[in-house]
């Protein structure tokens, strides 16, 4: 018999500082609290992590979260500790004595959540240690990695079925942001989920605009300069296909006075983390990255994601482009591609030795080419690809449906008018925040940066940008009013309230 769960809204308010759930969050939390297996497909920005963090707290015991990225584990554990929830991680970044201390404290039931990499989760020594914990449930993040049909298949994930074999009575909740119907079926089968509660959210992100344009080598610099001007106040991610292009693009933008940093897998860890933090904190507003960048990145106010090459699949594009507009405000997802880039993808596919994997890669390639070159509504194409059939034919939020961006066509003034009317968007994306005192906002951001550096955590772990904006709008004058600001729970009010109120009053 499960213990009766405490009031969920009360916990949500106390720790996370929110008074209501996002769509479907409560149902997912309640399914996990009821001890059911669950399969959750929730697009980026939907509030996925809360769906396993809150039931871990409410259910008692220890939840094991399997997550593929070391940096993400560390950030999430730090974020939870910051809001008064005991959490830890076990991965290759820990030295032996620290790992043993975490394991010792875990056996005593000191943690609500423990993050573990898939490689470590399936090791015999880890399984033996886990068996001594007061287990509540397993959460598998980025669950699409378990499927050979997925765009990011990882063999280590395939072995996670051992969790069901060794712990048949412990519920498993699988989470992903991008899984086709075939991948969803594979996740259920591979993890042996028993009569799971299934939640598949809509793949339609209505605040995003999708635009695709083929370009030549000569056009890329004028286009990017136009973009930097258009998003003068916003944060931007630029994806490039190779380390060389990342370095060249970031260097060129910096020479042009744009605060940009590179990010790729060949950098030293310390440099990569520093660059990511410079971007997360807003000191550098443009990040140029390879595909090594992005999984689990939790920055709500990205106003544009620009690809400089075709991704290898539509799932990959949807996931990367979906890092734009997580705050719900309008944002642009622009796919720029050249035929040479498509040729490079073909070359890589031909190099694949396994025949069935090569066939899957060809299918993914044909789908992304069709997305880029076809004349069907982009939002609709994405929904259909993931097995969702919208009732509408046109979205009004993509280039096929008549949306344009003036910076995408630097030569547009000299060219004849288009055959059909096109809504050209000439919007500086700065004013989304409403009437905000920029000086106050800057002071709060500077304070947040200093606190984050002192604690060696990303700035968003202290407070999200949306919370800073809410502070500027509401100007709370007391501790009680501070607790009414979304994103400020009791622990944050206790730790930072006095300083925040001081800044607001000054």
For the stretch 391-414, pLDDT in tens is 999 999 999 999 999 999 876 543
Q: Where are the domains of the chain?
A: 8-200, 208-234+301-430, 434-505
Alpha-carbon distance of 172 to 167, in angstroms, equals: 10
The per-residue pLDDT for range 240-253, each reduced to its tens digit, is: 989 999 999 999 99
pLDDT class of 503 with cuts at 50, 70, 90: very high
Q: Could you tell me the two tokens for 53? A: 């963090």
Name which CATH class applies to 208-234+301-430: alpha beta
Q: How many CB atoms lie within 10 A of CB 164?
A: 18
pLDDT of 162 higher than 90 = yes
pLDDT of residue 419: 39
Considering the four listed CATH numbers 3.30.420.10, 1.10.1380.10, 2.60.40.1180, 1.10.150.80, the one that applies to the domain covering 434-505 is 1.10.150.80
How does pLDDT run across 271-298, given as a tens digit for each residue? Answer: 888 888 888 877 899 999 987 566 556 6
CA distance 300 to 55: 23
Instruction: Give the chain's length.
Output: 506
Q: In whole angstroms, give the CA distance from residue 26 to residue 34.
A: 12
In sign, the C-alpha dihedral spanning 487, 491, 496, 501 is positive
Query: What's the pLDDT score for residue 418?
Result: 40
d(CA 135, CA 131) in angstroms, rounded, equals 8
Contact call for residues 76 and 49 (beta carbons, < 8 A): yes
Residue closest to 458 by CA, chosen among 300, 258, 248, 224: 300
> Does domain 8-200 fall into CATH 3.40.1190.20?
no
**Dihedral over Cα of 230, 233, 235, 240: its sign:** positive
List the beta strands (DSSP E) in 345-408. 403-405
Query: How far is 143 from 173, CA to CA, in rounded Å?
Result: 9
- Residues 226-244: tens digit of each pLDDT: 999 999 877 999 999 899 9
CA R_g for the chain: 23
pLDDT value, residue 296: 53
> Which of 397, 394, 392, 389 minimizes the C-alpha distance to 203?
389
DSSP assignment letter at 398: B
Whose CA is closest to 199, among 416, 47, 70? 47
Identical fold between 208-234+301-430 and 434-505? no
Question: Which of 42-51, 71-80, 90-99, 213-222 is most confident?
Answer: 213-222
pLDDT at 5: 52
What phi, psi does 40 have (nearest 5°)?
-120, 120
Tens digit of each residue's pLDDT (9 = 90 or more) over 435-467? 688 899 899 999 998 998 898 887 888 998 889
């Amino acid at each position: 018999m499960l213990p009766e769960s405490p009031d969920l809204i009360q916990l949500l308010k106390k720790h996370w500082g929110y008074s209501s759930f996002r769509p479907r969050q409560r149902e997912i939390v309640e399914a996990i609290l009821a001890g059911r297996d669950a399969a959750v497909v929730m697009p980026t920005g939907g509030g996925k992590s809360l769906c396993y963090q809150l039931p871990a707290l409410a259910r008692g015991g220890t939840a094991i979260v399997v997550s593929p990225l070391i940096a993400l584990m560390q950030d999430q554990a730090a974020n939870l500790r910051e809001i008064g929830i005991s959490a830890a991680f076990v991965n290759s970044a820990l030295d032996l004595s620290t790992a043993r201390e975490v394991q010792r404290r875990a056996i005593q039931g000191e943690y609500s959540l423990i993050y573990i990499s898939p490689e470590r989760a399936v090791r015999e020594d880890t399984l033996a240690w886990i068996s001594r914990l007061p287990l509540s449930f397993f959460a598998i993040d980025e669950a699409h990695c378990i499927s050979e049909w997925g765009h990011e298949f990882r063999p280590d994930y395939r072995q996670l079925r051992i969790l069901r074999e060794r712990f048949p009575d412990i519920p498993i909740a699988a989470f992903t942001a991008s899984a086709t119907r075939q991948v969803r079926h594979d996740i259920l089968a591979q993890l042996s989920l028993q009569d799971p509660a299934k939640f598949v959210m809509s793949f339609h992100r209505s605040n995003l605009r999708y635009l695709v344009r083929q370009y030549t080598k000569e056009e890329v610099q004028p286009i990017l300069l136009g973009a930097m001007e258009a998003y003068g106040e916003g944060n931007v991610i630029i994806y490039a296909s190779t380390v060389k292009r990342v370095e060249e693009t970031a260097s060129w933008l910096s020479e042009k006075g744009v605060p940009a940093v590179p990010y790729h897998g060949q950098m030293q860890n310390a440099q990569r983390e520093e660059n990511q933090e410079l971007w997360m904190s807003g000191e550098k507003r443009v990040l140029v990255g390879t595909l090594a960048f992005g999984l689990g990145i939790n920055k709500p106010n990205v106003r544009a994601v620009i690809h400089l090459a075709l991704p290898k699949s539509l799932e990959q594009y949807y996931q990367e482009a979906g890092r734009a507009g997580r705050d719900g405000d309008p944002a642009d997802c622009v796919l720029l591609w050249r035929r040479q880039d498509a040729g490079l993808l073909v070359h890589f596919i031909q190099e694949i030795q396994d025949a069935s994997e090569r066939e899957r890669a060809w299918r993914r390639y044909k789908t992304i080419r069709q997305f880029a070159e076809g004349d069907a509504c982009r939002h609709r194409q994405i929904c259909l690809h993931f097995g969702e059939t919208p009732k509408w034919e046109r979205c009004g939020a993509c280039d096929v449906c008549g949306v344009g961006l003036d910076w995408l066509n630097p030569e547009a003034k000299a060219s004849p008018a288009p055959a059909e009317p096109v809504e050209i968007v000439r919007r500086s994306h700065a004013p989304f925040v409403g009437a905000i005192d920029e000086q106050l906002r800057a002071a709060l951001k500077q304070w947040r940066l200093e606190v984050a550096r002192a604690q060696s955590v990303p700035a968003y772990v202290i407070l999200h940008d949306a919370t800073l904006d809410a502070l500027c709008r509401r100007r709370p004058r007391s501790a009680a009013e501070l607790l009414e600001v979304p994103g400020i729970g009791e622990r944050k009010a206790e730790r930072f309230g006095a300083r925040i109120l001081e800044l607001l009053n000054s």
